[in-house]
Structure 1
Amino acid sequence: MSNSASSEHGLQITDLRFGYGLDAPVIEACTLHVPKATVHGVLGCSGCGKTTLLRLIAGLERPDSGSIHVEGIQLAGEGHHLAPEQRPVGMVFQDYALFPNRSVRKNVMFGMSEGSKRDRMEQADSLLQRVGLLDLADRMPHTLSGGQQQRTAIARSLARRPRLMLLDEPFSSLDAETRSETREETMAILRASQVTTLVVTHDPAEAELIADEVTWLSCAQDAGRS
């Protein structure tokens, strides 16, 4: 762990840089400190690296330089790189990435690695109750609404007991009425879980509505907090 990393920060990014070759920088000198158990919004124009930033935090990409810590645990930097499955990080993708051939319950159980099958089923049902989907536990993903699919994805991510949750444009595919309701439900679940959350969105009004603080990510420039 770097001496400059603090366990008081839910997420600490320092001088992070990433690009596709020397002539194609995507993230340049990004520094970001997110207090533990808060919701932080990330805004930026299309192609500025918002999703790439989430992928770097999740371990799906390796930074060129800089460091990433979650609650003082070093995920990347100084020659260190934790594999995605070793990181205390949950990620909800824009398309939810549910397994179409697994029931809602089995999708949630997929995120678990410990305990007997019975224990994992009970844990999955407990999570589904928290997100209001226990009655739909045996349904298949394609029979769910967009909001229900998202809550399933959140329950699956929470099953790993993450210290940090990453949400990539989580409400963009929903219609206006569903988006408002789902947004309220989702943020209530995450805040009740006391998990630090980073939300990428293209909508400034939405970011201000759901986040405690907001960062604007410029194209290959510093990330500056507003």
Structure 2
Amino acid sequence: MEGFSYVDIFATKHIEYLLVIGFLLFFTLFWKFLNRPARLVLRESERLIPAINEWFRLPEGVYYHLGHSWAVPEGKDVVKVGMDDFAQKLVGKVDGIHVPHPGSTIHQGEKGWSLKVDSKVIDMLSPVDGKVIAVNEEILHSPETINQDPYSHWLMKVETPKFSVNKRHLLQGAMARRWMEEVRENLLSRMNYNLGLVYQDGGLLVDGMAKHLDRERWDEIVKDYFLVSEG
């Protein structure tokens, strides 16, 4: 019939389907491209978690204070006290330590001693109540050695008849490990997945983590963890 033209609707639909599929493929690739950095950061953060789990030592038989000090019984009514592994790795190289003189009285949850790091002085809380009966002269003369092993290098010996009461406010074993997991999560949130803090093999920088988090206000970060923040 004159004036009549035939259109293959099936061919037209086929072209429309191809266009839709092509658009979906393009959108999928574009979406993957946009989210690529976020996934990379996620993979890096997942790699950080096992590294941080292994980074902080929590020996058994030690009682831990939430301000990152510790106590270990030694004989009747006597304990050794010091700073934990997280504390020394957070502040980095310790330049000086000031402890109370023998005969001084200290109280759990109050100032026990002070660290000098760079030009900053940072207090740490005592894990126990009692009277100082000895100080570790070796660590006072060579404070940097505390970074080698903070559990072998105790700071003071304290006579504490109330240790049975004090240890109710300290953590040990599984409770201490769960607490350190919470500290780890808090540290990760502060890091904000700052990959500059990580070595290529997944290990973390160990010399003064707080300084890498904030070069100007690192001492405020430390005080938050040591529970001596002035704010």
With the length of structure 1 as denominator, give the TM-score of the two structures: 0.25
Q: Which has the greater radius of gyration? A: 2
Higher percent of residues as helix: 2
With the length of structure 2 as denominator, give the TM-score of the two structures: 0.24
Higher percent of residues as strand: 1
